[in-house]
Amino acid sequence: MSSPNTEERRLSFGRAALDYATYRPSYPRAAVDWVLSGASRRVVEIADVGAGTGALSSRTGRVWALYADVTRRDRG
């Protein structure tokens, strides 16, 4: 049995993207508010590295969501 290569690993979560998007609970509003409260001014644009479905970053203004697997990203 061989080990998965980098590309297989990068795309592996996409196969479960629909289940992830359907069953994963969202972040509590208080948690998002707490994170954003640390900013020195109103947050209107963020970069979300490893965004997945964008469950956290979708609560802010403009988002630059970065994720290696477009299947999972597109489920958000």
Q: Is 1 exposed, middle or buried (0-12, 13-18, 19+ CB in 10 A)?
A: exposed
The predicted pLDDT at position 42 comes to 84
Q: Is 52 among the domain residues?
A: yes
The predicted pLDDT at position 75 comes to 58
Give the residue numbers spanning the domain of 28.
6-73
Confidence of residue 69 (pLDDT cuts 50, 70, 90): low
Q: Is 13 among the domain residues?
A: yes
Q: Is 1 among the domain residues?
A: no
Residue 74 has pLDDT above 70, yes or no: no
List pLDDT tens digits, range 22-66: 888 877 888 888 888 888 888 788 888 877 767 766 666 777 877
Domain count for the chain: 1
The predicted pLDDT at position 76 comes to 55
Q: Would you say 52 and 68 are in contact if contact means Cβ atoms under 8 Å apart?
A: no
